[in-house]
Amino acid sequence: MERKENERRVCLLVIILILTSVMFISCTGSSDDEEKKAVKDVFAMDTYMTFTAYGENAQCAVDMASDRIEELDAMLSAGSSKSEISLLNTNACAKLSDDTLEIIEKAIEVNKNTDGAFNPLIYPVMKCWGFDTGDYRIPLQNELNECLTHMDIDKIIVDKERKSVRFADPDMQIDLGGIAKGYASDQIMEIYRKNGVKSGIVSLGGNVQAIGSRPDGSSWKVAIRCPDGSSEYAGVLEVNDEAVVTSGGYERYFEQNGNTYHHIIEPHTGRPSDSGLASVTIVAKKGIVADALSTAIYIMGYEKAVKLWKEQKLSFEMFLIKDDGSQCITEGLAGAYKSDTDYSIIE
C-alpha cells in the first residue's frame, strides 16, 4: 500500500520534472541563445556529478567537462592501478602531468598552512581502515603508528623542470581524495569560460562551484545538509563565482560495535578526526583551496579554524556546525546565509 503510494509520488515527480523542463525550454527557446541550457550527469571520482551550463555553447561545455573529469579521474585515482598516482605510489618516483604536479604542490602548501592537518600522505592509513576497498576494519594502533612514520611531507621531492616527483621514503603513498575534486571543479570553470559560458554550476558530491550568477541575475543557492544524517538542510548559502565545499564525517563511514568510524583522518593519530566539528563548509574563489581546507579545518577544530581564517594567508570564508548542533559563520559570508536556526557570527 505504502509502496504503491511511493511509486505514485515518484511518477508524479517525474511528470512534473518533464513538464518543467519542457516549459523551461519553450520559454528560453530560439529567440535568445544566451539562455540555452545544458545539463549532464556523470559518475566519476567515486561520486555523482551534475554539470549545468547556460549559453550558446552550453552543450559543448558540459560535454568537454565530462571528458575532462574522466581524464582527471584516470590520472588521480589512488585505487586504479594505471593512474599516475598509483605509479608514483608503487615506484616512489614518476613523471607526472601538469595537472597532477599542480595538485601535489597545492597539497603541500595547504599542509604547511594547516599545521600538517591536511596531509596527502594519508593513503597507508586509509588502507589500514579499509577505506580504499570498502572492506572496513578497525586497525591496531601499532599498525597505524607504523603508517604515521611514513607521512613526512618534506620527503616529497618535486622536480618542476623534469615534471617528476620522488619520494625520499619509498614506503610513502599519496592520496589526493581530499583535494582532487576541488581541482576538477576549477578545471570545469576554465572549460566553461573558454566556451563563453557566463552562467553555470557544477556539483561534485559535496563540492559545488559556480561561474557568474544564475541566468536571471540572482545568486546561486547552495543548500547545506544537516550533519545528523537526515535529509534536512541546515540552511542555504547564496553565492556567485565561487566554490562551496562541505566536509563531514557523515559522508563516508562504517559502524562497528556501536561506534562510527569516518574517512577524515587526524594525521597525527591515524584515527578518524574528533575535533568537535560535525560539518565544515568553505567558500573560496578556487575549488582546490576550498576542498583541501574543508578537509583540513574539519580536522583542526573550531579554535584553530578561526585562527587560520583571521590570518587570511589563504583567502576563504567558512560555515561550521559543531557536534552539539550549534552553527557559526564568518562575517564575510553572514549576509549570504539564510537559515531558520540561530547562528553566531565569527568576527
Among 94, 264, 288, 305, binds ligand ADP (CB under 6 A): 264
- Candidates 150, 166, 198, 252; binder of ligand ADP (CB under 6 A) is 252
What is the C-alpha to C-alpha distance for residues 4 and 11, in angstroms, rounded to an integer? 11
Q: Tell me the CB-side half-sphere exposure of residue 276, using CA atoms within 13 A.
A: 8
In this structure, are strands 327-330 and 343-346 parallel, antiparallel, or unpaired? Answer: parallel
For ligand ADP, the binding residue among 124, 200, 267, 287 (CB under 6 A) is 267
Output DSSP code: residue 275: S
Look up residue 15 and give its three cell numbers. Answer: 511528470
Matching residue, cell 544524517 = 229
- Using CB under 5 A as the binding rule, the residues of this chain from 149 to 188 that contact Mg ion are 178
Looking at the Cβ atoms of 66 and 279, the one nearer to ligand ADP is 279
Going by C-alpha positions, the residue among 181, 183, 164, 176 that lies closest to residue 121 is 176
Q: Tell me which amino acid residue 26 is.
A: S
Between 58 and 188, name the residue whose CB sits nearer to Mg ion: 188
Pick from 58, 103, 265, 333 the residue near ligand ADP by CB under 6 A.
265
291 binds ligand ADP (CB under 6 A): yes
Does 227 bind ligand ADP (CB under 6 A)? Our answer is: no
Check residue 284 for interaction with ligand ADP (CB under 6 A).
no
Which does residue 177 bind out of Mg ion, ligand ADP, none, counting CB within 5 to 8 angstroms by kind? Answer: ligand ADP
Count how many residues are written for the chain: 347
54 versus 298: smaller Cβ distance to Mg ion:
298
Which residue(s) pair with 224 in the sheet?
Answer: 235
| Shortest-Cβ-distance residue relative to ligand ADP | 177
Nearer to ligand ADP, 206 or 227 (CB): 206
Helix, strand and coil in the chain, % to nearest 5: 40, 25, 35
Specify the residue, 61 or 299, whose C-beta has the smaller distance to ligand ADP: 299
- Within the chain, what is the greatest distance between any pair of CA atoms? 67
CA distance 50 to 306: 32
Q: Which is nearer to ligand ADP, 124 or 267 (CB)?
A: 267
Do 302 and 277 contact (CB within 8 A), yes or no? yes
Tell me which residues in 252-291 interact with Mg ion (CB under 5 A). Answer: 291
Q: Does residue 55 interact with Mg ion by CB under 5 A?
A: no
Binding site for ligand ADP (CB under 6 A): 118-120, 122, 126, 175, 177-178, 205-206, 247, 251-252, 263-265, 267, 291, 294-295, 299
